Amino acid sequence: MDKSKRGWWRRAVIYQVYPKSFMDSDGDGLGDLGGIIGKLDYLAQLGIDGIWLSPVYASPQEDNGYDISDYRAIWPPFGTMEDMERLISEARRRGISIIMDMVLNHTSREHRWFKEALRGRDNPYHDYYVWRDGVPGTPPNDMRACFGGSAWEYVPELGQYYFHQFAVGQPDLNWDNPRVREELYDMIRFWVEKGVEGFRLDVIDSIAKEPDRKITARGQNLHRYIRELSANAFREEGLVTVGEAWSADVEEAKEYSSPDGRELSMIFQFEHNFADCVGGDKWRLDRLSLPKLKGILERWQRGLHGCGWNSLFWNNHDMPRIVSRWGDEGRYRVESAKMLATALHGLQGTPYIFEGEEIGMTNIRLPIEEYEDIETRNLYRERVAAGESPEAVMESVYARSRDNARTPMQWTSGPNAGFTAGTPWFKVNPNYTEINAEAALRDPDSVFHYYRRLIALRKEYEVIAEGDFTLLCPEDERVFAYVRGVPGERLLVVCNFTPETVEWSAPEEFEGARTLISNYPSRAGTLRPYEAEMMLL
């Protein structure tokens, strides 16, 4: 795969590593860079082309590294800069690109810039952040932070509030200050020069915030700043860039991911993430509406075909595990994990696999005091204080906490799932004795080998990478079926999203089509529980 050329990611699959939970090589109970290096052969066997590495920079870890105190240093428990350089070179030797997670919207309050900013209004770094004069107890407005509470924090010594969309320890950077932008572009070039071949851009849709107008996402300067960022920091056409954009719709995604390369390669949009929520609140559980999910996927497939580019994902470090959410944790865990993978990997775009997804890892249920995630802890406290029953709030926590994704990767059936020789920083899911990579590698019918085959298909078949999209049976509540097409190749993807056997007939044109992959040994004329198949004409 020639990664010097724009667009290599159209045939690629990217794997997300959450470093704290991936693999511990020095026994301190925390994942680290040495652990990732030790697992590169595993990832090469899976067949992935890039690793999205969640932040490994110096950080006080209030938000597990998304609160950066030095963009050019490695958090010591993760290793050294030499370890990082070794990871980049060892990955590249295996044809795997390192894609660094860049948090440009905010820093940690421990960052040198913020410490300088606190020293006084006339400090040259003061305007690196967003300040408003005020008096205690009367914030500039009623904006709320994502992790609870006011989005304004008062500093008595300055008689001012600073703005933070996330935790109090994550002060927002002032992107309207050209010096901030220049510092960030220069820092990104530092990593490009080290051989990093891509960037995931944390909450990029919020960098042009306008708090006086209560605007965080989609500020008026947003695309001007993104085009400037791209022109100054992502000059090499082979750099893959993916922006996290919770607020994006299809029209805006065309701007973000335009083939002209003026902005980014693609974005993470999250519309599908709310197909089982009441309103836009992920904590308000609803039953999955498959027609709603299919309509969303259809809109994004057809909307960006030929004029933009989709990312494809069910999981990441902020989301529950998909097999627990829309599959089956019990009897049909393997079939449903394979079905969900088929549904996603048949679409046009760049698929992202979150660590453990490839072996069908599941959610976890813990007592509230064992949850690590700041978002989960604050939500529980706020909702119980507001009068919701702890039991009801815990049902939401079990289903949607980000900590579902952050339990240590399950490598073996041995102590701590082979993740660490020490005491793991977070609870290992007790089902590691059955669900682990070692068992998956040994079993040719495992979820792992199914993912490996799916990844290979994307490289082999033009129709998967470039085909158009036609949704079949849009109103069917149980079956997701669609056709992809390029001249000379037509692909049918059919997935039963239920634990029941479903009568379903393929379009006549696909009679006699060749099965490319399926999660059952042979066709049965009906769709068995969670049955999935890709057929090629």
Residues identified as active-site: 202, 244
* Cβ atoms 71, 173 nearer than 8 A: no
Helix axes 333-345, 447-460, angle to 10 degrees: 10
Per CB under 6 A, 406 contacts ligand TEU = no
Question: Greatest CA separation found in the chain?
Answer: 76
The pair of structure tokens assigned to 284 is 């308000």
Supply the minimum distance, in Å, between the C-beta of residue 282 and ligand TEU. Answer: 5
The number of C-alpha atoms within 13 Å of 131 and in the hemisphere containing its C-beta is: 21
CA 237 to each of CA 4, 211, 264, 462: distance values in angstroms, whole numbers, following the listed order: 7, 34, 10, 22
Per CB under 6 A, 332 contacts ligand TEU = no
Q: Which of 18, 66, 426, 482 binds ligand TEU (CB under 6 A)?
A: 66
- Complex with ligand TEU: residue 63 or 357, whichever CB lies closer: 63
d(C-alpha 240, C-alpha 468), whole Å: 23
Q: Which of 175, 246, 300, 480 binds ligand TEU (CB under 6 A)?
A: 246
Residues 93-112 binding ligand TEU (CB under 6 A) are: 103
- Complex with ligand TEU: residue 244 or 403, whichever CB lies closer: 244
Supply the minimum distance, in Å, between the C-beta of residue 246 and ligand TEU. Answer: 5
Per CB under 6 A, 18 contacts ligand TEU = no
Q: Which of 36, 146, 151, 266 binds ligand TEU (CB under 6 A)?
A: 146
State the binding string over 357-376 for ligand TEU (x if CB under 6 A, else -).
------------------x-
d(C-alpha 371, C-alpha 375), whole Å: 10
Q: Which of 32, 62, 63, 153 binds ligand TEU (CB under 6 A)?
A: 63
State the binding string over 175-204 for ligand TEU (x if CB under 6 A, else -).
---------------------------xx-
* Total Cβ atoms within 10 A of residue 124: 11
Q: Which of 39, 181, 282, 294 binds ligand TEU (CB under 6 A)?
A: 282
* Total Cβ atoms within 10 A of residue 385: 8
Alpha helix stretches (DSSP H) within 51-136: 81-93, 112-117
- Complex with ligand TEU: residue 68 or 297, whichever CB lies closer: 68
Question: First vs last Cα of the chain: how many Å apart?
Answer: 26
Per CB under 6 A, 166 contacts ligand TEU = yes
DSSP string, 223-257: HHHHHHHHHHH--STT-EEEEE-TT--HHHHHHHT
Q: Which of 263, 318, 372, 531 binds ligand TEU (CB under 6 A)?
A: 318
Per CB under 6 A, 173 contacts ligand TEU = no
* Cβ atoms 318, 246 nearer than 8 A: no
Chain positions contacting ligand TEU, by CB under 6 A: 63, 66, 103, 146, 166, 202-203, 244, 246, 282, 317-318, 375, 402
